[in-house]
Amino acid sequence: MSVLVPARQLEEYCAHILAAAGLPEPDALLVASSLVDANLRGVDSHGVSRIPIYVKRLQLGLVNPHPDVHVTSEAGGALVIDGDNGMGQVVMQRSLELALSRVPSARTVSVAVRNSNHYGSGAYFAKKAAAANTAIFLYGSAPSTMAAWGGRERFLGTNPYTFCVPAGNREPMMLDMATSVVARGRIILAQQVGERIPEGWAVDPNGEPTTDPESALAGSVLPFGGPKGYGIALMVEVMAAMFSGAASGPEIGDLYDDLDRPQGVGAFFTLHDIGAFQPLNHFSQRMEHLFDAIKQSGPPDREVLIPGELEARAAQRNKEYGISVPSAVVADLERLSPDGRRLANPDDAMTNAATRK
């Protein structure tokens, strides 16, 4: 069962919870906005189901609610930024602002971020970079949940990779993916709502395939594409952890399990000013032509999709009809409400299938 909640209402409700947990109101709204944006795009694993663990880590003092996010070194267009153990979204937003302020002069800016925390969906920040007429490559480290190819023990994270570029009058091209078969957050969400997971997502602690989310979380997620996914995950680890000086592999604190230490997450992103390479209008026209050509390359009875297109359509639909939030997640949020307000009327509960026309 799920409940339909308007995006703005969900965002304000979650921001209220985060502010009560100690985040300054502007930062609470930023974090809530990033999570709701993931729900809008249909990426529920990175949505408001994360609020309870964010609150818990704030209450335990494992996250700095008032970080001094600052540049520790700068050479040309290369920056190293210390997040001062702030909320991941806050650190990423301030790092992006610092990078964008240097784009007009440097034209290409690379930023290594250390001493941060889980920053949610990379797409939220990548869209902001694209809106500033830059292309972004974003790499993020994550707690150990995936064994190296041929290894036994969990070592690498799901290590997300995000690429986004504006496309004129079309939606930006958005590639936002984990280097595992599936983001671990989707397994966590399945556990929260009592669902099985598809075979091929993960193995149990004995290395056997499993559809039980509990066993999967105790075991290891699998890299997409076998050794190729492992190779890309290791590449992301190098960019996000080695370049920044952040924690790496098992050194990274698990968001849910390591409740005695900060996470120490790292990230690395590069912004490329499109106007430094091509006139912006010309680039936009070529991107639109590229999209049209790709669309026309498929058979008449099947649509060819651009990366990020399904998520953009989901966002439009969910803005109109509301976000379908599982009842278990609604209950978690309502338990955290500082003033006891309800998020939704129980009479509005319905199955996901009934929430769409």
Question: Average pLDDT for residues 153-169, to the nearest whole number?
Answer: 94
Confidence (pLDDT) at 148: 87
pTM: 0.90
Does residue 354 register a pLDDT over 80? Answer: no
- Cβ contacts of 172 within 8 Å, gap of 6 or more: 126, 127, 130, 164, 165, 166, 308
Q: Is the pLDDT of residue 350 over 80?
A: no
Q: Is the pLDDT of residue 174 over 50?
A: yes
Q: Scanning the structure block, which residue is given the tokens 């997409």?
A: 224
Helices 88-100 and 122-131 meet at what angle, rounded to 10? 20
- 356 vs 30 pLDDT, higher one: 30
Average pLDDT of the residues of the chain = 94
pLDDT of residue 344: 77
* Burial of 152 (C-beta count, 10 Å sphere; 0-12/13-18/19+): exposed
**Torsion angle (degrees, nearest 10) of CA 128, 131, 137, 143:** 20
Confidence class of residue 243 from pLDDT cuts 50, 70 and 90? Answer: very high
pLDDT in tens, 269-319: 999 999 999 999 999 999 999 999 999 999 999 999 999 999 999 999 999
Per this entry, what is the length of the chain? 357
pLDDT above 70: residue 36: yes
Task: State the angle between helix axes of 88-100 and 25-40 in degrees (0 to 180), rounded to the nearest 10.
Answer: 90
The pLDDT assigned to 346 comes to 57
State residue 348's pLDDT score.
Answer: 53
Determine the pLDDT at residue 356. 44
The 8-class DSSP code of residue 135 comes to E
